[in-house]
A = this chain, B = another copy of it.
Amino acid sequence: MVKVNENFAKLPANYLFVDIAKKVDAYQKENPGREILRLGIGDVTRPLVKPVVDAMKKAADEMGYAETFRGYGPEAGYGFLRETIAAHDYQNLDISPDEIFISDGAKSDTSSIGDIFGLDNIVAVCDPVYPVYVDSNVMASRAGDYKEGSGWSKIVYMPCMEENSFLPTFPKTVPDMIYLCFPNNPSGVSIPKEQLQAWVDYANLHGSVILYDAAYEAFIQTPGVPHSIYECQGAKTCAIEFRSFSKTAGFTGVRCAFTVVPKALQFGGTSLNQMWARHQSTKMNGVSYPVQRAAEAVYTEEGQKLVRENLAYYHKNAKIILQGLQHAGFTVYGGVDSPYVWMKVPEGLTSWQFFDELLKRCAVVGTPGSGFGTHGEGYFRLTSFNTTENTEKAVQRIVEQFT
């Protein structure tokens, strides 16, 4: 008889945001008239900018004529997009187009990158952490068993707390696969260059690979904060970088991202660039052509201008949250180089208790820090992705109810 993958049974029944959605749905049913303000899931609200819409429509039109129709594209993405990304995002970093792999999302890539590594590698993650890194390793059998309070037996957790400014420090056990995400989801903090350089040096010293999720790179405002891990010396021999158009250009519903696997990245003589190319050509058929044209349009002059206006809009919202909560006496972090504000929940409440209270008393939805890991307990994530009007309203309600 066929055996199922038993690791699935070890996972919590639902993905974090599915749990939250259910609670919110239940609340809405009980309070049909009440306006719920969602500062929970990290989903954008600003519409696509005009050059992006136009590019997608133009590509859709091309698909309607035999002369310009396109069937299967290259699995790793069209040259026009890979070249544009290399020239724009990696201008002085010497990343070539064939080191860039276009995909339908950073979630797809960060959850599948493990496929090219052995099952006996030791995985390290920050705590708190974006759940996908952990869950995908649970499915692949790298996580061991779950124990309430201490987490997965085989995962090396790197606590990110107030004491270390939410930046991970080298763990006692040397890990093989190190997931880092900066600007960080969920804490919203960015990493100074010298600290990222220290991680690159550490990985090169130990032969570890850094899986660097830079999905929020476009939010960086602080001068000197690295936008790419390849700004660090030696990163090409130890790091894979994930980027996305989701938050940068409002593509959460459009679906486009990319992953950089440098050719210099080799372990035991094996090229990870070649492995990932083989993985992608076996397991997907490239990203929708109109979507790739839409992504290309993000890089036009007009596209850049408008996309930056949207980012400024979210920055303003983050500032409203930060200043409003600070003013009301809350302790808050992040929110400068990132769309996420990481607040300490009021004394005496757990993260989920605060979630329930906030929903009940304010009809505001956030994400409980404990949903991201043990060391997220006592914290709460608010996002700047709602409208300015709703963000102001939400902050006002929180301040009224909790001060």
Contact = CB atoms under 8 A, between A and B. Distances in A.
11 contacts: A4-B272, A15-B278, A15-B281, A44-B71, A46-B66, A47-B64, A56-B63, A104-B288, A135-B282, A253-B286, A255-B288
A71 B252 contact: yes
Given A47-B64, A254-B288, 15 more contacts: A1-B208, A1-B267, A2-B118, A2-B207, A4-B267, A47-B63, A60-B290, A63-B253, A108-B284, A112-B283, A132-B282, A253-B289, A254-B289, A255-B287, A255-B288
A201 interface: no
A59 to B, nearest CB: 9
A248 interface: no
A190 interface: no
A272 B115 CA distance: 21
A112 B283 CA distance: 7
A336 B238 CA distance: 52
Contact of A288 (B120, B281, B288): B288
A116 interface: yes
A294 to B, nearest CB: 8
A394 interface: no
A363 to B, nearest CB: 20
A275 interface: yes
A278 B48 contact: no
A116 to B, nearest CB: 5
A64 B48 contact: yes
A121 B73 CA distance: 33
Nearest to A254: B288
